[in-house]
Amino acid sequence: MEKGCIHLAVVLLLLQQMSTCSSIVNITTDQTALLALQSQISLYNPHSVLARDWSTSTPVCSWIGVTCSLRHQRITALNLSSMNLKGMVPPQLGNLSFLISLDIRNNNFHGSLPEELAHLRRLKMINAMNNNFTGAIPSFFSLLPNLHSLYLSFNQLSGNIPPSIFNITKLKNLRLRGNFLTGEIPQEISSLCCLNSIDLQDNKLTGSIPPTMFNQSSLRQIGLTNNILYGKLPGNVCDNLPNLEHLRLSRNRFDGLIPPNLQNCSKLQILSLSVNDFAGTIPAEIGNLTMLTSLQLGLTYLKGEIPRELGYLQRLEVFGLYQNRLSGSIPASLFNISTLQILTIVDCQLSGTGCKLRGIIPEEIGNLTNVLSISLFANDLTGFIPKTVRGLQKLQRILIQSNMISGTIPDEICYLQNLGDLIVGRNKISGPLPSCLGNVTTLRNLYLASNKLNSSLPETLWNLQELLELDAASNSFSDVLSPQIGNLKNVIDIDLSYNDFSGMIPTTMGSLQKLITLSLSDNRIDGPHSRVFWENVKLGILGFEL
């Protein structure tokens, strides 16, 4: 007891708030503080977890969310995360003078954190993420000499980042993501000795990155995505960041070149530079960052070719390259990265500068045994869909429309038991559809339009109970429409226009209750004479073209 009192006296002296240690501070003080919190919360919800569990008839150290030190019999940790609590944090919490860790994340606390928390000299961690705190970031945090982690992400905080926050010299983790912070990142960040992660994503920060940040060699994670930051990355950006693992700069206004020197951040796992004004070429040196799991370079002004060396990134899971000004061919080496889950190389689709990428889909694609999504649309790919696609057992979507791919759709597609989207329209694909296509029971969107497909639609197609969209327009399919088309219970959109279908519209089509658009124009089809059919065609809802 005596020790606690002396300690408190020192604290109070420092703060010059009180001059004497008049009252004995003990677990009863802690209990009083928690009861103040409880009554705050009861204003909004009299039946909260705390209202039920925090009872003076049981010892405070046994209350839910409370951890005490055995030696001092004082509260050292308060963990009220995800308890659906609403209310303000009362000033009495500043009396929990032995508190080391305060975790109130994922609740609906509002107002501001009380200044009295500045008394908590032992506090090492505050996690108030995902609440509804408003106002400015309190500057009293700088009075907490032991604070190493401050998490205030996903609140409604506004104003500048107080420079004083950076004289908490032990600060290791600072997360302020998803607030309304404005102004610049303070230069004072250089006073931190041991900063590990800084997450300022999704704010409205402006200015450039303080150059000193690139000298903070302890940094592992930098998150600045979605702000209004600008400027160039220094040519020696990674000379003093040997530990950097995440560099997230997407959705800002950075410009200049992507420095080859990034290869010196040899532990880099996530590099996202998308949606900025970067120009120049993709440095081949990026291929040396062999720890990379995610590389995002979309919507910048990059030109030149995709370096073959990126194939060395044998841990890459996400590769996103879209709407740049690249030219040349897609290196086959990229299809050799067996860890890839998402492969997106979509160029110039909107910018329309005519710099599409060439190349083929190489046999190596079969090595992408973990891939979930392949998007290579709106390029100038030639060649055909290789039979090795059979190896893509996890594939959920393949988008290769608007290229110049020829050949047939190989039967091997039928082995893909997770495929939902097969989007191959606007190519030069010919021949019949695989008769086994109905084996791909997960298919939801089948876009085949504007190819040179022919023969009849395979009977197994009508087994596809999940199918939402069937677009086979502008091909050379012939045959009569099978009555089994009525089996496509979930289909929303059928477009078979500009083919050579003949005969009658099967009356079974009238049972397609979810159908919104049906286009059968430019075939040799007659309308059905069944009253049931026309009754089910909900005029005005069903956009019907014959």
Ligand X SMILES: *[C@@H]1O[C@H](CO)[C@@H](O)[C@H](O)[C@H]1NC(C)=O
Q: Does residue 366 interact with ligand X by CB under 6 A?
A: yes
326-345 residues in contact with ligand X (CB under 6 A) are: 332-333, 336
Binding ligand X by CB under 6 A: which of 7, 72, 110, 148?
110
Closest CA to 100 of 67, 62, 63, 64: 67
For 347, other C-beta atoms within 10 Å of its C-beta total 24
Q: Which stretch binds ligand X (CB under 6 A): 27-35, 201-209, 503-511, 535-543?
A: 27-35
The two beta strands, 74-79 and 66-69, are antiparallel
405-424 residues in contact with ligand X (CB under 6 A) are: 411, 414-415
- Separation of alpha carbons 216 and 195, rounded Å: 7
Locate 218 and state its tokens. Answer: 């302890």
Which is closer to ligand X, CB of 208 or CB of 430?
Answer: 430
Q: Does residue 167 interact with ligand X by CB under 6 A?
A: yes
Binding ligand X by CB under 6 A: which of 207, 231, 260, 280?
260
Closest CA to 37 of 98, 106, 117, 157: 117
Q: Does residue 309 interact with ligand X by CB under 6 A?
A: yes
Q: Does residue 212 interact with ligand X by CB under 6 A?
A: yes
Helix (H) or strand (E) holding 321: strand 318-322
Dihedrals φ, ψ of 35, to 5°?
Answer: -65, -30
Which is closer to ligand X, CB of 466 or CB of 530?
Answer: 466
* Start-to-end Cα distance in the chain: 89
Which is closer to ligand X, CB of 87 or CB of 223?
Answer: 87
CA distances to 107, 149, 219, 289, 316 from 216, in Å? 33, 17, 6, 20, 26
Which is closer to ligand X, CB of 393 or CB of 513?
Answer: 393
Binding ligand X by CB under 6 A: which of 62, 69, 84, 132?
132
Name 199's Cβ contacts closer than 8 Å, sequence gap at least 6.
153, 174, 175, 176, 177, 221, 223
Q: Does residue 479 interact with ligand X by CB under 6 A?
A: no
486-545 residues in contact with ligand X (CB under 6 A) are: none
Binding-site size for ligand X (CB under 6 A) equals 58
Q: Does residue 30 interact with ligand X by CB under 6 A?
A: no
Locate 338 and state its tokens. Answer: 């067996």
The answer to whether the beta carbons of residues 277 and 286 sit under 8 Å apart is no
Binding ligand X by CB under 6 A: which of 184, 277, 364, 469?
364
Q: Which residues bind ligand X (CB under 6 A)?
A: 23-29, 32, 79, 81, 91-92, 94-95, 101, 103, 108, 110, 116, 132, 134, 142, 163-164, 167, 188, 211-212, 215, 239-240, 260-261, 263-264, 284-285, 287-288, 309, 311, 332-333, 336, 363-364, 366-367, 388, 411, 414-415, 430-431, 436, 439, 454-455
